[in-house]
Amino acid sequence: MNYRAMPSARQLEEIARLIDNAKVRPLIRATYPLEDVARAHRHMENDHIQGKVVLKVAA
């Protein structure tokens, strides 16, 4: 079963306000350089992940 939340504009504005005021912070579990995208994908598929996996893109 899959579930996808569809927040309203008001809810998204409230979430943005909480983030801007440092009341909510995302949990980043791992960061990978873009060239390691396959390794990051395996990490997400094979491990129980709490938090986000981030791909770092060079500026």
> Which sequence spans correspond to the domains of the chain?
27-59
Tokens encoding 3: 């579930």
pTM, two decimals, is 0.59
Contacts (Cβ under 8 Å, ≥6 apart) of 19: 25
Residue pLDDT, tens place only, 1-58: 677 788 899 999 998 999 899 998 888 999 999 999 999 999 888 877 788 899 999 8
Q: Which of 56, 50, 10 is nearest to 33 (CA)?
A: 56
Rounded to whole angstroms, the Cα distance separating 18 from 26 reads: 11
